[in-house]
Structure 1
Amino acid sequence: MPLVTARRGGLVEQVIEQLSAAIRDGEWAVGTKIPPEAELATSLDVGRNTVREAVRALAHGGLLEVRQGDGTFVRATSELSGALRKLCGDELREVLEVRRILEVDAARLAAVRRTNDDLADLRAAMVVRDTALHDAAVADPDANHTAVADAVRTDTDFHALVVRCAHNSLLSELYRGVAEAVAGSVAATMPPEIGTEKEVSHSGIVEAIAARDVERAAREAGEFLTRLIEQRA
């Protein structure tokens, strides 16, 4: 998304909004380095001090991370996400524990509240996920990085969909807040035997939700996370 020359008056706020939009809309993905200060100042037709103040504000909000001598990188896609990441940190065990808290009760609610359309979406998402896992397992070494990234993304999307099927807007918003941390935990725990029968299947979660079996849905959602947590005890 090309940056638009900022209007005079409230320049810092305008720059904050434009940089936030670039992050929010995916123009600058999490983990990527944003353009240097001088380039941003030229694109926006503002002073470097204005850009510096806007970047400082976004770093304080958790969206950006300034690495001295290396540049500024996108850390999260929203202030909520940044705040939650600060709370749970990047420690894998902590992220997995937060995921278990949110995903187990989300599965319970989904088993009660899911619609037929939700169920169709879940089954479709599981097929996409399983296909991506298989493709990652058989990918040419030169293309493996992309294939594994697709597997991580589709697995993360599947879990987010389960949460959405709970039909609790606050729970969904909280989960979106830790989306980057969830994706990181999926990537960190993706097993070497990706795509094989040893890979964790999520069919049990889907079928429990389909059967409106609340306790089984919770158990299916929590057991594999509990195993991952115990492995890091």
Structure 2
Amino acid sequence: MPLVTTKRTGLVDQVIAQIRELVSSGEWPIGEKIPPETELVGALGVGRNTVREAVRALSHAGLLEVRQGDGTFVRATNEISGAVRKLCGPELRQVLEVRRALEVEGARLAAGARTDEDLTGLEACLTIRNEAMRRQDSTEVATTDAEFHRLLVAASHNPVLISLYEGIRETVASSVATALNRDAQAELVSHAELLAAVRDGDPRQAAEEAGAFLDELLSQMGSESAAEQLD
């Protein structure tokens, strides 16, 4: 088959690329409302239809969320995270199940692959998290807890697993915050044993510790659902 002369990228693709960059870089943070259509048209120098088509495409990809009568908001920083959010929706159970699959394997691999630098980062993050717990700063607890799990998976040094987990970072952070809001005792969960297992190079124990607290949350949710059905 003969090669075909390439064509210039269309205007819609160019607008999509610019918006995606603004979102992924944090210039437009998650949860924030993006500029209105008229402002985007003027700033980008394109027509309304081009902007609408780009926003529609990014909405389908899960990066943006169009709320009729309210505007368009940033939903995720990349397509993987956006897809997970769309698939899981508001269902915390589904998010926790995805987290468990990735974090258990991440912990198991980290126990055999972690470096001294990884351990230092994990210990520092857990120290900050515990201090936030003592201050009863739930926002800081949620942020540092999510970061601890990210660093744990990063310590696996498996690029495919790390890439998958990076794709659901916002979803993980949301699930942590939601769990804390659902149960005030959730902030008392300690990751000291998990960190010790990784430090000691014990893959079995690390995987068990990584899954234990998520199993407990899932079990609590199952009990709540059963109680609701009985009511």
TM-score range, shorter chain: 0.7 to 0.9
Structure 2 counterpart of 1:3: none
What number of residue pairs does the alignment pair up? 213
Q: Which amino acid aligns with 1:104?
A: V
Structure 1 counterpart of 2:44: 44
Post-superposition offset of 1:150: 2.4
Q: Which amino acid aligns with 2:49?
A: N
Contact in 2 for aligned 1:12/1:51 (Cα 8 Å)? yes
Alignment of 1:145-184 (within 5 A): 147-184=137-174
Contact in 2 for aligned 1:133/1:194 (Cα 8 Å)? no
Alignment of 1:1-233 (within 5 A): 10-135=10-135, 137=136, 147-190=137-180, 191-193=183-185, 199-233=188-222
CA distance 1:20–1:152, change in 2 (3 Å): same
Contact in 2 for aligned 1:134/1:194 (Cα 8 Å)? no
CA distance 1:9–1:84, change in 2 (3 Å): closer
Residue by residue over 1:62-93, the C-alpha shift from the partner in whole angstroms, topping out at 9 and shown as x without a partner, is: 10111111111111110121122223333001
Q: Which amino acid aligns with 1:211?
A: D
Contact in 1 for aligned 2:179/2:186 (Cα 8 Å)? no
* Structure 2 length-normalised TM: 0.87
* Structure 1 length-normalised TM: 0.86
Q: Which runs of 5+ in 2 are unaligned?
A: 1-7, 223-231
Contact in 2 for aligned 1:90/1:181 (Cα 8 Å)? no
Structure of higher CA gyration radius: 2
Residue by residue over 1:41-67, the C-alpha shift from the partner in whole angstroms, topping out at 9 and shown as x without a partner, is: 111122121111110110111101111
Q: Which runs of 5+ in 1 are unaligned?
A: 1-7, 138-146
Supply the distance in 1 between the matched residues of 2:17 and 2:54 (Cα, whole angstroms).
9
Supply the distance in 1 between the matched residues of 2:23 and 2:155 (Cα, whole angstroms).
26
Contact in 1 for aligned 2:65/2:72 (Cα 8 Å)? yes
Residue by residue over 1:104-126, the C-alpha shift from the partner in whole angstroms, topping out at 9 and shown as x without a partner, is: 11100000111111111111111
Contact in 2 for aligned 1:88/1:98 (Cα 8 Å)? no
- Identical counterparts, % of pairs: 54
Structure 1 counterpart of 2:5: none
Supply the distance in 2 between the matched residues of 1:127 and 1:170 (Cα, whole angstroms).
28
